[in-house]
Amino acid sequence: MIELTIDGQKISVQQGTTVLEAAQKNGIDIPHLCYHPELSVSGGCRLCIVEVDGRPYPYPSCGLEIQDGMDITTHSPALNAARREILDLFISEHPLDCVTCDKSGSCQLQKYAYEFGIKETSYEFEISKPLLQDDNPFFLRDHQYCILCGRCVRVCDEVIGASAIDFAGRGFTTYIATPFDAEMGDSDCVFCGSCVQVCPTAALMPVSRVGKGREWELDRTKTICGYCGVGCQVEYALNEGEIIYAQARPDSLVNGEFLCTKGRYGWDYSTNPQRLTSPMIRRDIAYDMGLTDQPWELPEKSPLTVRKPKIEDSFVPVDWDTALDLVAGKLAETVDKYGPDSVMGLASARCTNEENYLFQKFMRAGISTNNIDHCARL
């Protein structure tokens, strides 16, 4: 363990820790914008500068490894003046639209502008990147809000491995782009939305979120993604019961801040009016069982292809006991007639491990077949 002093507080942390991490672990907040705990250090924003006793210049704490006996100051008049200058430069090309911006309340630039009392820039204001790109169904890229922190580039490269975006251009006109400015759909983007999650400003925003309420008006529900067996933890932001967007939970041991496309954007099925809310029996079978008085003939095409506009046209809603009795009866009849290998079981990622264990046991020990598979393998 290494011992050092931060703001007069003696602390002891593991070797290899940076000053920023050591401070955070001990409840000391150092302003930062380009740093993200899951990503490599960029050192671009300089907001995290600290004074190191015995050294002539401030250092960015996100890239400064601790050393035994270091004496660090995180807040001083000189540091705060430098941070104000940095923020002043950021907003000299950033529209402070906070009154109407959907990111307001969770924006890190807004947070620091507030903390340092920056209301307007002292420089000549000019937007260097007025481009708004609305080229995919999942997220908007509004470059005027981009502060070029590079988090999106690093997450795409280091965590996702897609390397779909990078810095383009030079100097004042630098912006984040796909190769040859291709539309997102024509790039290597896999639409995981991780760049949107780690973006500290409104430069990357979920399409579903725009105009749907201020951050503090949204309710939060924590849950587990139901798509596959990984069990990623996800948090839904809701407005009056309607899901507005999903994000990963940084405190999740399973997935950290990351989700795949399905978990991040595939939640609209939950309120789809066509979602099944009870078991259903095909109408011709239901007629034979006396559950409906309307006869129906199985069309040449699968009844699943004629689901729209109303599934009730070809299926009859029933209670669980009725549905399970029918399935058990048909299963027993088929096995009796054609043998155990004439049937198969397809388990679901939406069930618990225990339920899936019981299901395979039922197929193997109960039915006597190894014909068992799982939807998450597809």
Residues within the interface to ligand SF4 (CB under 6 A):
94, 96-98, 101, 103-104, 107, 109-110, 145-152, 155-156, 160, 162, 164-165, 176, 189-195, 199-204
Cis peptide leading into 299, omega within 30 of 0?
A: no
Question: Residue 23 touches which of ligand SF4, ligand FES, none (CB < 5 to 8 A by kind)?
Answer: none
CB of 183 to ligand SF4, least distance (A): 12
CB of 39 to ligand FES, least distance (A): 11
Count of C-beta atoms within a 10 Å radius of residue 265: 21
157 or 188: CB nearest ligand FES = 157
112 or 359: CB nearest ligand SF4 = 112
17 or 42: CB nearest ligand SF4 = 42
Cα 361 vs. chain centroid, distance in angstroms? 35
State both tokens at 248.
């990963």
Contact 169, 131 (CB under 8 A): no
Count of C-beta atoms within a 10 Å radius of residue 229: 16
42 to 71: interface string for ligand FES, x by CB under 6 A:
-xxxxxx-----------x-x---------
Helix residue spans in 92-141 (DSSP H): 108-115
Q: Any contact of residue 34 with ligand FES (CB under 6 A)?
A: yes
Cβ burial 64-92 (10 Å sphere, 16+ → b, else e) = bebeeebebbbeeeebeeebbebbbebbb
Q: What is the DSSP letter of 363?
A: I
CB of 42 to ligand FES, least distance (A): 6
Question: Residue 151 touches which of ligand FES, ligand SF4, none (CB < 5 to 8 A by kind)?
Answer: ligand SF4
Cα 183 vs. chain centroid, distance in angstroms? 21
Question: Residue 148 touches which of ligand FES, ligand SF4, none (CB < 5 to 8 A by kind)?
Answer: ligand SF4
Contact 12, 3 (CB under 8 A): yes
Task: Point out which residues bind ligand FES (CB under 6 A).
Answer: 32-35, 43-48, 60, 62
